[in-house]
Amino acid sequence: MSSHSAPPGPAYRRLSVEERRGQLLATARHLFAHRPPEAVSLDDVARQAGVSRPLVYRYFPGGKQQLYEATLHGAAEALRDCFVEPRSGPPRRRLTEVLDRYLAFVDEHAEGFTALLKGGSVAETSRTSSIVDGVRRAAAEELLHHLDRPHPGVRLRMAVRTWITAVEAASLIWLDEQREPPLPELRDWLVDHFLALLAVTAERDAETAEVVRAMAEREPAGSAP
The answer to whether residue 119 forms part of the interface with a second copy (CB under 8 A) is yes
The answer to whether residue 183 forms part of the interface with a second copy (CB under 8 A) is no
DSSP one-letter code for 122? T
CA distance 11 to 225: 57
The answer to whether residue 199 forms part of the interface with a second copy (CB under 8 A) is yes
CA distance 131 to 17: 26
Give min distance, CB of 22 to a second copy, in A.
Answer: 28
**Sites for a second copy among residues 141-180 (CB under 8 A):** 154-155, 157-158, 161-163, 165-166, 169-170, 173-174, 177, 180
CA distance 114 to 134: 17
Q: Is 161 exposed, middle or buried (0-12, 13-18, 19+ CB in 10 A)?
A: middle
Find the binder of a second copy among 121, 134, 183, 219 (CB under 8 A): 121
Minimum CB distance to a second copy smaller for 60 or for 174:
174
The answer to whether residue 81 forms part of the interface with a second copy (CB under 8 A) is no
DSSP code per residue over 143-177: HHHHTT-SS--HHHHHHHHHHHHHHHHHHHHHHHT
Residues that bind a second copy (CB under 8 A): 118-122, 124-130, 154-155, 157-158, 161-163, 165-166, 169-170, 173-174, 177, 180-181, 185, 188-189, 192-193, 196-197, 199-201, 203-204
